[in-house]
Structure 1
Amino acid sequence: MSVYQKDDINLLIVDDSKDNLMALETSLEQDGLKIYTTASPKSAMEICLENDISIALIDVKMPEMDGFELLDLIKKNPLTEHIMVILITGYSMSSACVVKGLNKGAVDYLFKPLDLYITIAKVNSLITMVNYQREINNKNKELVSYQHDLVEAIEQTEKSKIVKENFLANMSHEIRTPLNAIIGLTSLLTASEVTRDQQEMIDMMDFSSKSLLGIVNDILESAQIDAGKIVIKREPADIAGLVQSVCNLTRPMANEKGLELICETDANIPSLVMADPLRLNQILINLINNAIKFTQAGTIKISLQLLEKRGDDVVLEFIVKDSGVGIPQSSINKIFTRFEQIEDKTWQKFGGTGLGLSIVKRLVELKGGKLKVESTLGAGTSFIFTNSYKDVTKVKALEITKKQIADLPKFDNILILLAEDNAINQFVAVKILKKWNIKVDIAINGLDAFKKLKENNYSLILMDTHMPVMDGNEATRKIRTELTGFKKDIPIMSFSASVLEIDRNDAKKAGANDFIEKPFELKTLNRKLHKLLDKQLANQEVLADQF
């Protein structure tokens, strides 16, 4: 895996006063920042194009071209539109003029006489933003490369189950590690103050990262179904609400292509039935994404109907219908075969791994349902699946209402040890944990974690599985066998980008109390931390009572 090297960030200062240029250049000098200056607005564009400028400080009032005109030139050129511009002006500027600059694309203002502390702080804030964007772009390039290697290698190792599982475990870790960083950084960026343009870029990065995560999950899912490791876990679920949520989630993608996504649910659907929401959600998202992908114009309709009711048993029908390219009758069975693509230029131009529909079919069958396809070439396709469910509305309504309360409570007086060798993942985890009032100490490998626990007191350890020098499982075993008292029994949550069942089992055998996979959901992490810490506190109270 490549190591990201930070390049200098190029900053341009444009001001017709040479004294101002010299003062700003001197005050902003720092390692990693290369500063260009010019007193001529006309030469500024040439400097931007030749030197890949990321940040520009531009005086508004200049004789040959004012700052607004230069800002227009920068934002209208595709090669320079990414530059973050701060306009410099006097305190006398009217509110209308300030708004004018912001509407043209400026990210901020500095007012004369300049306060150098404020100036340096604002520039440093933009430098941080540039570094975030570069880091995410670099990780996205790595992910594209990993995706290509992953799909190619899985085809070559299809016949060997042992080789395939080892490969998947390693590649899952390698891909999920940068994905965890990207998704975490994107969450942090979203919570910070950004412009509308920057928010749009962040949204695109978030979507791209989660799309790549979906591909990784599809490949892992396919392998686990082969190995018979997928278990359908039924629980009381609001099926109608789930369908509406999936529609709301996928509607922006449809709208982006100019498609109308319609969602209809039968009013007679029971409020709660025994189902596997995770797998049902997976089936519907796969089918809807497929419909969006192969539909150029028109509508996509998702419907949920009650077909039959016998006592507490109900039969439900799910339909995902599109007005897309359609499927040749001779190829309908082929679409459910892994890594297969229809031999038709109309279909081939859309690309894909050929895994989504294969997974859908096998999940529907694992759930005890039936899947069928109705399609007319050039007129659209309908994917229809039916399944039986048990109505538990009366029994479970109150219980589920309590379970669905989603809250992320904070912690009090907690110090945990984070054992993680990846610097970006350290940064993301610390930022998230601090928002929950958790103090964090960092260890860069398993041996470092063991030494720090020996010397300090912590409430819990978050232990990465894959680390140099000593991995997480070895460190956990060392803690459980060589330390005494509270430190020996400290709660340990193992986490890894590898998500195969063997990884969970290895962590448990080593002595971990719980396991969470990367990239993790904040609700899940918060809930698991509370569970472990509450249990630890209860045990301490029992011991105290005994004495």
Structure 2
Amino acid sequence: MKKINLLILDDKEENIISLEALLADIDNINIISTTDPNEALKLCWKNDISIALVDVQMPEINGFEFVSLLKGNPKTSHIIAIMVTAISKEDKYLIKGLQSGAVDYLYKPLNPEITIAKVNAFIKQVLIQEEIFQKNTELEQSKLALIEANKEAEHARKSKEIFLANMSHEIRTPINGIMGIINMLKSSSLNAEQLDWVKRLSNASNSLLMIINDILDISKIDSGMMKIEYENFNLRDLVEDTANIFRMKAANKKLNFEVHLAEDLPKIVHFDSLRLQQILTNFISNSLKFTHEGKIDIKVDILSKNGDSNKIKFAVTDTGIGIKPESVDKIFREFEQGDDRITKKFGGTGLGLAIVKRLANLLKGEVDAQSNYGEGSTFSFIVEMKEVLEGSLAKKEEILQYTQVEKLNKLKVLIAEDNDLNSFMLAHMLRTWDCEVTIVKNGRLALDAIDKDNFEIILMDTHMPVLSGFEAITEIRNSMDPLLRKIPIITISASVMEHEQKAAFEVGADDVIGKPFNPIELYNKIVKAVSMSKK
């Protein structure tokens, strides 16, 4: 244990010798003594003195003045001062000592037991104070470390968000072109074999898009940006429609693929249909990947009812390879699969079921996996859903091909897009709608184009060289020409980050559409923006 420095100040050497002898048997102290108050002050400044026994009556500087000097200096103000005196025990002297900063008195002739007891008590006090100081120092260091860790975590989060935004843009842009060309091919004259090729290409591009969306969904959920949007929808239709997406793939693998819906299942429910479909899609896709023979069953049952609230269980059971008992818990963790050998053989990011787990938590439901290794697995999702009246369900809009919509009567459109495949695909669709199209590769060229010609709408990519879409929109909205300021602008962005879409509206865009986009959605946004500009 660390020794405590104790100072004895007395102008008489014999008193010092007497006190040193009295305190000699006390553990954990190192006695420093002097007869000179000025020397004592220097010792206090240079040494880590914790306790000082100070004689009251001394020439030049008395004990009261000495203690006042100690307490007046920040470097020595912590020292515990005990007055040692042979003068009267009157209250006025006691008060004077306490006012100078002393904490106690020892009266001559010294009582050995009292003296030792008091010094021991103050030694304990010093040790406790030092321990408190050490703990406070450690707490402060922990606080600073925590603040620094939070800064690093925030920096890492922002870096991750920027990376994901850039990755999303760089990958979604070519995917948008690919999926656009696929839509063009679907609307062209193809023989049966060519149509099969296009469908396979479409499935591949959708799979790639699903992987990107999985990565972004994990990021959104972790950052608290994932939104749950409730709506009324037909539950039976959603389950059947989701299953139909996979029927062809199941048939190609010669699997028996069936859907079993409980008879008392509510027809219309109020829930997040997109997230429910995402959960079912992950379950079915997972079963299809690991099942080579046998069957896949989708089963939806009512577990309990309470008024209009229904506790519903969605289960997907397969006869696939199954999961080892020790690996079941791992499969709901991100970037994890039940067995590393599975990843090598079957591929996959290990994100699908991790997203399902997080979505289930957001939806206040629970997921579970039961498996017999080598025989198959059952993945289930249990959640409360509210049943609603059928009359509250919005009617489904008829799904049209982009070639089936009304023409736009020579609408003059400017496309600002630096990706050749995307601009080619956009121009083809617009010309199919009877639009007159001009294409430029950056925001600066877009500004030059609107100075030379009159356009009725601009489709503006957000990320372009020389001048970005945001910068170009800002200049257009700040133009001196009132006609230019009113040109409808739709930004086409490969970013799915909400803040970037919000930024587009803030700089003056009339609407935003993300890549890859549905051609019909783009058509509707163009019609809306142009009609609003004419009011």
With normalisation by structure 2, the TM-score equals 0.67
Partner AA of 2:382 in structure 1:
T
CA deviation after TM superposition for structure 1 residue 347, in Å: 6.2
Please give the alpha-carbon distance, in whole angstroms, between the structure 1 residues aligned to 2:465 and 2:435. 26
In 2 relative to 1, CA 519–417 (structure 1 residues): closer, same or farther, beyond 3 Å?
A: same
- Matching residue of 2:161: 165
* SS of residue matched to 2:176: helix
- Matching residue of 1:320: 316
Please give the alpha-carbon distance, in whole angstroms, between the structure 1 residues aligned to 2:342 and 2:414. 54
Larger radius of gyration: 2
- Matching residue of 2:353: 357
- Matching residue of 1:423: 420
- Matching residue of 1:380: 376
Is the CA contact (8 Å cut-off) linking 2:296 and 2:317 kept in structure 1?
yes
In 2 relative to 1, CA 268–483 (structure 1 residues): closer, same or farther, beyond 3 Å?
A: farther
**For structure 1, which runs of at least 5 residues remain unmatched after alignment?**
1-156, 540-547
Per-residue deviation, residues 446-490 of structure 1 (Å, max 9, x unmatched): 111122223322222111011111110100101011243232022
1:231 aligns with 2:227: yes
Partner AA of 1:491 in structure 2:
P
The one of 463, 466, 475 equivalent to 1:466 is 463
- Matching residue of 1:252: 248
Is the CA contact (8 Å cut-off) linking 2:486 and 2:533 kept in structure 1?
no
Please give the alpha-carbon distance, in whole angstroms, between the structure 2 residues aligned to 1:393 and 1:483. 54
* SS of residue matched to 1:160: helix
Greater displacement, 494-503 / 238-247 = 494-503
Please give the alpha-carbon distance, in whole angstroms, between the structure 1 residues aligned to 2:316 and 2:154. 31
Please give the alpha-carbon distance, in whole angstroms, between the structure 1 residues aligned to 2:483 and 2:303. 58
Partner AA of 1:252 in structure 2:
M
The one of 479, 484, 495 equivalent to 1:482 is 479
Please give the alpha-carbon distance, in whole angstroms, between the structure 1 residues aligned to 2:316 and 2:336. 21
1:456 aligns with 2:453: yes
Please give the alpha-carbon distance, in whole angstroms, between the structure 1 residues aligned to 2:323 and 2:331. 9
1:182 aligns with 2:182: no
Is the CA contact (8 Å cut-off) linking 1:158 and 1:164 kept in structure 2?
no
CA deviation after TM superposition for structure 1 residue 503, in Å: 1.6
CA deviation after TM superposition for structure 1 residue 439, in Å: 2.7
- Matching residue of 1:499: 496
- Matching residue of 2:263: 267
Please give the alpha-carbon distance, in whole angstroms, between the structure 2 residues aligned to 1:235 and 1:422. 37
Is the CA contact (8 Å cut-off) linking 2:491 and 2:511 kept in structure 1?
yes
Please give the alpha-carbon distance, in whole angstroms, between the structure 2 residues aligned to 1:502 and 1:471. 16
Partner AA of 1:202 in structure 2:
V
**For structure 2, which runs of at least 5 residues remain unmatched after alignment?**
1-152
- Matching residue of 1:130: none
1:338 aligns with 2:334: yes
CA deviation after TM superposition for structure 1 residue 358, in Å: 0.2
1:367 aligns with 2:360: no
CA deviation after TM superposition for structure 1 residue 384, in Å: 1.0
CA deviation after TM superposition for structure 1 residue 426, in Å: 1.1
Please give the alpha-carbon distance, in whole angstroms, between the structure 2 residues aligned to 1:530 and 1:390. 36
Per-residue deviation, residues 234-271 of structure 1 (Å, max 9, x unmatched): 11111210110111111111122221211122233233
- Matching residue of 1:528: 525
Please give the alpha-carbon distance, in whole angstroms, between the structure 1 residues aligned to 2:351 and 2:342. 19
Please give the alpha-carbon distance, in whole angstroms, between the structure 2 residues aligned to 1:438 and 1:329. 61
Partner AA of 1:517 in structure 2:
G
RMSD over aligned CA atoms reads 2.0
CA deviation after TM superposition for structure 1 residue 441, in Å: 2.0
Partner AA of 1:423 in structure 2:
D
CA deviation after TM superposition for structure 1 residue 383, in Å: 0.8
- Matching residue of 2:200: 204
* SS of residue matched to 1:374: strand
Please give the alpha-carbon distance, in whole angstroms, between the structure 2 residues aligned to 1:505 and 1:256. 44
Per-residue deviation, residues 246-298 of structure 1 (Å, max 9, x unmatched): 11111111122221211122233233211212211111111111000011111
Please give the alpha-carbon distance, in whole angstroms, between the structure 2 residues aligned to 1:466 and 1:255. 43
Per-residue deviation, residues 209-252 of structure 1 (Å, max 9, x unmatched): 21111111111111111111100011111121011011111111
In 2 relative to 1, CA 508–280 (structure 1 residues): closer, same or farther, beyond 3 Å?
A: same
Greater displacement, 431-440 / 511-520 = 431-440
Please give the alpha-carbon distance, in whole angstroms, between the structure 1 residues aligned to 2:480 and 2:312. 56
Partner AA of 1:182 in structure 2:
I
Is the CA contact (8 Å cut-off) linking 1:240 and 1:304 kept in structure 2?
no
Please give the alpha-carbon distance, in whole angstroms, between the structure 2 residues aligned to 1:188 and 1:395. 37
Is the CA contact (8 Å cut-off) linking 1:185 and 1:428 kept in structure 2?
yes
CA deviation after TM superposition for structure 1 residue 203, in Å: 2.3
Greater displacement, 464-473 / 444-453 = 444-453
Is the CA contact (8 Å cut-off) linking 1:339 and 1:355 kept in structure 2?
yes
The one of 392, 404, 416 equivalent to 2:397 is 404
In 2 relative to 1, CA 346–482 (structure 1 residues): closer, same or farther, beyond 3 Å?
A: closer
Please give the alpha-carbon distance, in whole angstroms, between the structure 1 residues aligned to 2:341 and 2:448. 61
Is the CA contact (8 Å cut-off) linking 2:416 and 2:461 kept in structure 1?
yes
Please give the alpha-carbon distance, in whole angstroms, between the structure 2 residues aligned to 1:528 and 1:328. 50
In 2 relative to 1, CA 439–303 (structure 1 residues): closer, same or farther, beyond 3 Å?
A: farther
Is the CA contact (8 Å cut-off) linking 1:410 and 1:437 kept in structure 2?
no
In 2 relative to 1, CA 159–332 (structure 1 residues): closer, same or farther, beyond 3 Å?
A: farther
Please give the alpha-carbon distance, in whole angstroms, between the structure 2 residues aligned to 1:483 and 1:424. 34
CA deviation after TM superposition for structure 1 residue 342, in Å: 2.2
- Matching residue of 1:276: 272
Is the CA contact (8 Å cut-off) linking 2:261 and 2:301 kept in structure 1?
yes
- Matching residue of 1:76: none
Please give the alpha-carbon distance, in whole angstroms, between the structure 2 residues aligned to 1:251 and 1:301. 12
In 2 relative to 1, CA 392–437 (structure 1 residues): closer, same or farther, beyond 3 Å?
A: farther
Is the CA contact (8 Å cut-off) linking 1:342 and 1:348 kept in structure 2?
no
Is the CA contact (8 Å cut-off) linking 2:414 and 2:458 kept in structure 1?
yes
* SS of residue matched to 2:346: coil
- Matching residue of 1:77: none
In 2 relative to 1, CA 482–313 (structure 1 residues): closer, same or farther, beyond 3 Å?
A: same
Is the CA contact (8 Å cut-off) linking 1:341 and 1:348 kept in structure 2?
no
- Matching residue of 2:300: 304
Report the identity percentage: 40
1:7-18 map, 5 Å? none
Per-residue deviation, residues 295-348 of structure 1 (Å, max 9, x unmatched): 111111112223333222222211111111111221111101111122364565
Please give the alpha-carbon distance, in whole angstroms, between the structure 2 residues aligned to 1:317 and 1:158. 38
In 2 relative to 1, CA 355–296 (structure 1 residues): closer, same or farther, beyond 3 Å?
A: same
* SS of residue matched to 1:258: coil
* SS of residue matched to 1:440: strand
Please give the alpha-carbon distance, in whole angstroms, between the structure 2 residues aligned to 1:390 and 1:171. 38
Please give the alpha-carbon distance, in whole angstroms, between the structure 1 residues aligned to 2:483 and 2:434. 23
- Matching residue of 1:99: none
Please give the alpha-carbon distance, in whole angstroms, between the structure 1 residues aligned to 2:484 and 2:407. 21
